[in-house]
A and B are shown apart, each in its own frame.
Chain A
Amino acid sequence: MSAVVSGGVRPRRALAAAVLLSLGSGLVLAGPSSTGATEPVARAGAGAPAYSETKTLQRVVTKPDGSLQEFPAYTVTVTADQTTDLRGRQRIRIAWKGAQPSGGRASNPFGESGLAQEYPVVIMQCRGVEEPGKGEEQLRPETCWTASFAQRSQITRSDGEAAWRHDLDADEADKGRVSGLDPLPGADVCPTADIAGYSTRLTPFVAASGKVFPACQADQMPPEAAVGAAFPAAELAAFTDLDGRGEVQFEVRSDVENESLGCNHETACSIVVIPIVGLSCDQPSSPPTASDNACRRTGRFVPGSGNVASEGVDQAVSPSLWWAASQWKNRFTIPITFGLPPDTCDILDARAPTGFYGTELLAQAALQWSPAYCLRKDRFKFQHNQMSDEAGFTLMENGGGAAALVSSEQTQVGLDPVGYAPTAVTGFAIGYVVDRPDNAGELATLRITPRLVAKLLTQSYLGSDLGRGHPGMEGNPLSIMQDPEFVRLNPGLSQINQEVGATLLSLSNQSDIIRQLTDWVMQDRAARDFVSGEADQWGMVVNPNYEGLALPASEIPLLDDFVPETGNTCRQENPAVYFNQIAAPVTTLRKISEALLDAHPNVQTRCELDADTGLYKVGRIGRQSYGARFMLGLVSLGDVERYGLKAAALQAAPGKFVEPTESSMAAAVSLMEPGEETLPFTLDQADVRTSSKAYPGTMVVYTAARMQNLDEADAAKVAQFIRVATSEGQRPGPGNGQLPAGYLPLRRTGVTAGLYAAAQDVATAIGTQTPPASTLPDPVDLTTDGGSDGTDVPTTVPDAPAVEEPPVAEEPTEAPAPVEEDTAPVAMPATTAISSRTAGLLLPLLFLGGLLGSLAVAGTRFLVRPPRQG
Chain B
Amino acid sequence: MNRLLSVLARCATASALAIAGVASVPAAARAATYAQIEGTGSTWSEVIVQQWIADVDASGMKVVYTGGGSTKGRKDFAQDTNDFAISEIPFQGTDEQGNADTSNGRSFAYLPIVAGGTAFTYQLKVGNELVRNLRLSGETLTKIFTNQITNWNDPAITKDNNGRAFPNLPITPVVRSDGSGTTAQLTTWMDKEYPSIWRPYFGKSGLTSYYPKKSGSRTVSQAGSDQVMNFISSTYGNGTIGYVEYSYPVNKNYPVVKVLNKGGYYVEPTQYNVAVALTKARINTSNPNDPSTYLTQILDDVYRNPDPRAYPISSYSYMVIPTASDDPRMTTAKRQTLADFMYYSLCAGQTKAGPYGYSPLPLNLVQAGFDQIAKLGKADKDVDLTNRDVRSCNNPTFDGKNLSNNKLAQIAPQPAACDKAGAGPCGTSTGTGDPSTDEGDGGTTDEGDGSGDGGGGGGTDVDTGGEVTTDAPGSVDPVTGEVVGGDTGAVSDGAAVYADPSTVLVADRAGDTRAFAWLSGLLLVTLVVLPGLYVSALRRRGPAGARS
Chain A residues in the interface with B (C-beta under 8 A): 10-12, 14-15, 17-19, 88-89, 219, 223-224, 226-231, 255-259, 341-350, 352-357, 363, 366-367, 370-371, 374-377, 383-388, 390-391, 395, 398-402, 413-415, 508-510, 545, 557-561, 563, 573-577, 580, 583-588, 590, 604, 610, 612-613, 615, 617-620, 711, 713-714, 717, 782-783, 833, 843, 846-847, 849-850, 853-854, 857, 861, 868-869
Contact = CB atoms under 8 A, between A and B. Distances in A.
A385 B459 contact: no
Interface string B126-144: 0000000000000000000
Contacts of B486: 415, 782-783
B456 A402 contact: yes
How large, as a class, is the contact surface on chain B? 35 or more
B10 to A, nearest CB: 4
Contact of A347 (B9, B36, B343): B343
B196 interface: no
B54 A386 contact: yes
A508 B212 contact: no
B251 A575 contact: no
Nearest to B48: A385
A421 B460 CA distance: 22
Contacts of A561: 235-236
B82 interface: yes
B62 A508 contact: no
Interface in B444-458: 452-457
A850 B29 CA distance: 88
Given A559-B234, A586-B226, A854-B534, A352 B355 contact: no
A850 B529 CA distance: 9
A399 B58 CA distance: 25
Contacts of B354: 400
A11 B464 contact: no
Contacts of A256: 34-36, 60, 62
B545 interface: yes
A505 B527 CA distance: 59
B78 interface: no
A65 B142 CA distance: 83
A833 B13 contact: no
Interface stretch (B18-26, B113-121, B148-156, B363-371): B18-26
Interface in B419-474: 452-457, 459-460, 463-464, 466-467
Interface in B35-49: 35-36, 38-40, 47
Contact of B178 (A341, A386, A617, A857): A617
A348 B59 CA distance: 10
B81 interface: yes
A376 B455 contact: no
A257 B485 contact: no
A580 B14 contact: no
Nearest to B541: A868
B505 interface: no
B264 to A, nearest CB: 29
Given A256-B36, A617-B223, A557 B235 contact: yes
B90 to A, nearest CB: 20
A353 B235 contact: no
Contacts of B344: 347
A368 B38 CA distance: 21
B329 interface: yes
Given A398-B488, A401-B455, A847-B527, 13 more contacts: A17-B10, A18-B15, A223-B329, A226-B81, A230-B76, A257-B35, A354-B455, A355-B352, A385-B456, A414-B488, A508-B233, A545-B235, A559-B234
A402 to B, nearest CB: 4
Contacts of B197: none
Contact of B460 (A88, A374, A401, A415): A401
A868 B543 CA distance: 9
Interface string B465-496: 01100000000010110000110101100000
21 contacts: A14-B10, A259-B35, A347-B61, A356-B456, A363-B54, A376-B26, A384-B54, A399-B466, A401-B455, A508-B230, A509-B251, A559-B234, A587-B47, A604-B227, A617-B223, A618-B177, A843-B524, A847-B527, A850-B530, A854-B534, A868-B542
Contacts of A847: 527
A661 B105 CA distance: 53
B51 A15 contact: no
Which of A388, A402, A559 gathers most chain B CB within 10 Å? A402
A587 to B, nearest CB: 6
Contact of B223 (A375, A391, A613, A618): A618
Interface of B: 9-11, 13-18, 21, 24-26, 28-30, 32, 34-36, 38-40, 47, 50-51, 54-62, 64-66, 76, 80-82, 97, 99, 177-178, 210, 212-213, 215, 220-224, 226-227, 229-231, 233-237, 248, 250-253, 328-331, 333-334, 340, 343-344, 348, 351-352, 354-356, 387-388, 392, 394, 452-457, 459-460, 463-464, 466-467, 477, 479-480, 485-486, 488, 490-491, 520, 523-524, 527-528, 530-531, 534-535, 538, 542, 545-546
A367 to B, nearest CB: 5
Contacts of B213: 573, 615
B494 to A, nearest CB: 12
Nearest to B10: A14
Contact of B55 (A383, A587, A843): A383
A342 B58 CA distance: 9
A342 B62 CA distance: 13
B230 A580 contact: yes
Given A388-B251, A850-B528, A352 B452 contact: yes
Contacts of B455: 352-355, 401-402, 714, 717
A374 B352 CA distance: 18
Nearest to A392: B355
A231 B25 contact: no
A93 B534 CA distance: 91
Given A11-B14, A354-B456, A846-B524, A377 B534 contact: no
Contacts of B80: 226
Contacts of B250: 391
B486 to A, nearest CB: 3
Contacts of B535: 857, 861
B247 to A, nearest CB: 9
A15 B221 contact: no
Nearest to B466: A399
Contacts of B54: 363, 366-367, 384, 386
A558 B82 contact: no
B484 to A, nearest CB: 10
A398 B81 contact: no
Which of A11, A219, A258 gathers most chain B CB within 10 Å? A11
Contacts of B488: 398, 413-415
B140 to A, nearest CB: 24
Contacts of B212: 615
Which of A12, A257, A850 gathers most chain B CB within 10 Å? A850
B387 to A, nearest CB: 5
Contact of B456 (A18, A355, A374, A590): A355
Given A229-B38, A587-B226, A557 B234 contact: yes
A230 B72 CA distance: 11
Contacts of A377: 24, 26
A376 B29 CA distance: 11
B226 A508 contact: yes
A223 B331 contact: yes
Nearest to A782: B486
Contacts of B17: 11-12, 14-15
A580 B234 contact: yes
B314 to A, nearest CB: 21
B421 to A, nearest CB: 30
B467 A398 contact: yes
A307 B39 CA distance: 31
Given A15-B14, A833-B479, A849-B527, A354 B454 contact: yes
A558 B230 contact: yes
A560 B178 contact: no
